[in-house]
Chains A and B, each alone.
Chain A
Amino acid sequence: MKPFAYLRPDTVDEAVRARAAHPGAAFLGGGTNLVDLMKLGACAPDLLIDVGRLPLDRIEELPDGGLRIGATVRNSDLAAAPVVQERYPVLSQALLAGASGQLRNAATTGGNLLQRTRCAYFQDVSTPCNKREPGSGCPAVEGVHRDLAVLGHSAHCVATHPSDLAVALAALDAAVEATGPDGARTVPVTALHRLPGEHPERDTVLEPGELITAVRLPPPPPLAHGRYRKARDRASYAFALVSVAALLEVRDGVVHHAALAYGGLAHRPWRATAAEEALRGAPATADTFGRAADAELSAARPLRDNGFKVPLARRLTVSVLGALAARHR
């Protein structure tokens, strides 16, 4: 790790201006991923702009019935907030399925969304990686890729995004508010993360100087139930093999509203629009749920050793939607 300067601005504007002035700078939130990557040498900023104490630490109920979550709200606080547990249980469940109690106490909402892939080649600076070093190659395609992508990957990168939170936010139609040198803008979470394509070095559509200041949630679908379920290699404290965030509203045995997103399958949280289309208006049966999953997963292109993720995603889909549908009976 090379030496770096440290700055703790008091305002968002100050933070954004400092970042714009220093191309080698990085924002520091909870540090649970950035400090890890700096120790590995996978990130080497020469200035850390500590945004962890910016006044972005509130969860506000919005007049439209939605919620605005400050970017520095800690994962544990967000999961524990009664308003989140009551109205957005899928969000609370996703957070609590991730990491450990210690990490959730430090990790921030904004930082969680911006965490980098856990691909072993990305983390190991002695191996090529197009995400870390554009043009150097991707050993994962032929190498060890059991945990990597089956959807939306490219010849240049097969990494997955590790966040649980982002999957729930994708299903909830959340949007991030970001401020950059050119002002503020709002980006839907489903459009925040990119597919790798030819530029896997870019995880998100945010410009280098932009800072996430909040996540905005629309009001929850009034009659929908939500659930997050994650399959993993050990009972706790492990990244998802596959996870699913689902919201479902059934009226008279027919799917009225469905939102579905997958984790562990792609370079971004994967909003399953094809599945949702297959669900809407269809009878709320296991058969429908399976066909909906197939509609989404038919696009999967598994690598040599990660084909298991496709049936796993299908099974999780059928199970979670089935459980949600049962609550409408």
Chain B
Amino acid sequence: MEPTASPPDAAGPPPGATRSTVTLHVNGVPHRLTLDHRTTALDALRVHLGLTGTKKGCDHGQCGACTVLVDGWRANSCLLLAVALDGSALTTVEGLADADGLHPLQHAFMERDAFQCGYCTPGQLCSAAGMLQEAADGHPSHVTPDTVTPGAPVELTADEIRERMSGNLCRCGAYPRIVEAIGDATAHPAAPPVPHTVHGIGAVSVNGGGRTAS
């Protein structure tokens, strides 16, 4: 992150720079952008980079349509300021698959007709990709039985998928199909989880598992 004006002096008057130059690695491609600090990751993607696959549904973290993977972790890009993501790697729906193929989740969503209007779909797909990795990493959910060994991969029952995907609204009501599609993708032998990089949204070190320190 480089402020476009002189760096603020922590002891002086309020710093004046309201724009900074940041580097965002989007779908494997580094982009240097000079952005208004008010610009969210979502608007940086949609407006500045023309990557409109990521959707704006509510702009307040209440619908999940803007979900992207930040260093492998799913997050609402509408609540992330681009300036705070300097150096981060973002994966959007445009980058889920390799080259011109489809990610198994994309394939499963088409097979199961797991969408109608399609507006929540990119967020559902990115959320599902992040969610699969979370479950594999042993992250529990609200419905995970307390008999499950902490830290062990969590089996994704339909109830688990429903709870874990509840941050992504679908007004067309495709939920039953979405749950089936994600179930299909988990069973798919070639379903590659989108790997987390070592630098998480908040790179963190946890005793006994989780993210490693930055």
Contact = CB atoms under 8 A, between A and B. Distances in A.
Chain A directly contacts chain B within the complex, with at least one CB pair under 8 Å: yes
Interface of A: 1, 3-9, 14, 17-18, 21-22, 24-25, 28, 30-32, 35-36, 39-40, 46-48, 50, 52-53, 57-61, 70, 72-74, 76-77, 79-83, 85-86, 89, 92-93, 96-97, 99-103, 105-106, 108, 235-237
B118 interface: no
Nearest to B7: A7
Contacts of B74: 101-102, 105
A-B residue pairs, 9 tightest by C-beta: A100-B167, A236-B166, A82-B150, A3-B18, A85-B150, A57-B204, A5-B15, A18-B10, A80-B139
Contacts of B73: 76, 105
Contacts of B202: 30, 52-53, 57, 72-74, 77, 106, 108
Interface in B189-214: 200-211, 213-214
Contacts of A32: 61, 76, 79
Nearest to A40: B60
Interface string B138-165: 1111101010001100000000001110
A74 B200 contact: yes
B153 to A, nearest CB: 12
Contacts of B201: 30, 52, 74, 105-106
A24 to B, nearest CB: 6
Contact of A59 (B14, B36, B200, B207): B207
Interface range for B? 35 or more
A35 B209 contact: no
A81 B208 CA distance: 7
Contacts of B210: 77, 80-81
Contacts of B150: 80-82, 85-86
Given A5-B8, A101-B134, A61 B141 contact: no
B67 interface: yes
The binding surface of chain A is classed by DSSP as mixed
Given A30-B202, A36-B61, 7 more contacts: A4-B37, A6-B1, A47-B14, A59-B205, A80-B150, A81-B207, A103-B167
Given A3-B38, A81-B208, A89-B146, A106 B14 contact: no
Interface stretch (B80-88, B94-102, B106-114, B180-188): B80-88
Interface in B41-89: 59-61, 64, 67, 70, 73-76, 79-81, 83-84
Nearest to B19: A3
Given A79-B140, A80-B210, A106-B75, A57 B64 contact: no
Contact of B131 (A97, A101, A108): A101
A24 B15 CA distance: 11
A224 B11 CA distance: 49
Contacts of B200: 74, 77, 105
Interface string B114-143: 000000000000010011001001111110
A77 B164 CA distance: 15
26 contacts: A4-B38, A5-B3, A5-B8, A5-B15, A5-B37, A6-B37, A6-B84, A14-B10, A22-B13, A25-B14, A30-B202, A32-B61, A39-B60, A50-B84, A57-B204, A59-B205, A80-B150, A80-B151, A82-B138, A82-B150, A89-B146, A101-B74, A101-B130, A102-B76, A106-B80, A108-B202
Nearest to B18: A3
Contacts of A102: 61, 64, 67, 74-76, 127, 130, 167
B176 interface: no
A9 B7 CA distance: 11
B167 A101 contact: yes
B28 interface: no
A32 B202 CA distance: 13
B79 A36 contact: yes
Contact of A61 (B3, B59, B166, B207): B207
A48 B37 CA distance: 9
B34 interface: no
A6 B17 CA distance: 8
B84 A28 contact: yes
